[in-house]
Amino acid sequence: MEPLGRDRYETQGGTVRTIFRPMREEDIPTVCAIENESFLTPWTEGAFRNELTNNSFAHYVIMEEADSGAIAGYGGMWLILEEAHVTNVAVRAPFRGKGLGERLMRELMRKASFLGAVRMTLEVRQSNAIAQALYEKVGFRAVGVRRGYYTDNHEDAVIMWADLPKTQRSP
Ligand SMILES: CC(C)(COP(=O)(O)OP(=O)(O)OC[C@H]1O[C@@H](n2cnc3c(N)ncnc32)[C@H](O)[C@@H]1OP(=O)(O)O)[C@@H](O)C(=O)NCCC(=O)NCCS
């Protein structure tokens, strides 16, 4: 299937319909395949398993393409009191450039706010202009740099913060 443009993925011409749900242990092999195609130093299966089973601060979401059920992306964060710290965000390569990364970030922000966070932070490689543009688009601002933060190539990390819009908790 040929890409049809930024907002059009299906040949019928509609936008990609997505479903968000919590990450489960059986998702980990697919998540790691996306992780491997996305990052210089990908997280291991064990690291994700530990997050899902041992870390009560961790919240991981899967974004599925609704029609096929395929995993299109995932994101995670640690939520400690009023602050959410994003750990991973990735969209599977064929799904990129169609607005899904933005949808995923907005879902993480909505969920964090729903769970009581008022602000969100993350680190992003200085060279990752695409991710920085995405984060700025959804309300993040660069506030500083951690020198040599990434141990694989000693690249600097840009530290970004966003205030979260208030989300009503359900009654
Ligand atoms: C970063 C990533 C999640 C973006 O996902 P995506 O689905 O391609 O992004 P979207 O289509 O939702 O685009 C949202 C915004 O991101 C930016 N963006 C996306 N693709 C871009 C590109 N090729 N060039 C420049 N900016 C781009 C733009 O600001 C865009 O907004 P616009 O469409 O109004 O211009 C995806 O590229 C990815 O998974 N990359 C590898 C993993 C990674 O780097 N994760 C972040 C680690 S901190």
Quick one: average pLDDT of 13-23? 84
Active-site residue set: 123, 135
Quick check: 6 pLDDT over 70? no
Express each pLDDT in 141-163 by its tens digit. Answer: 999 999 999 999 999 999 999 99
Specify the residue with its C-alpha closest to ligand 1, atom 31.
134
Read off the pTM: 0.91
CB neighbours of residue 157 within 10 Å: 18
For the chain, how many helices (H) and strands (E)? 4, 7
Percentage of the residues of the chain whose pLDDT score is greater than 90: 86
Q: Is 93 in the pocket of ligand 1 (CB under 6 A)?
A: no
CA 95 – CA 85 distance, rounded (Å): 24
Q: Is 130 in the pocket of ligand 1 (CB under 6 A)?
A: yes
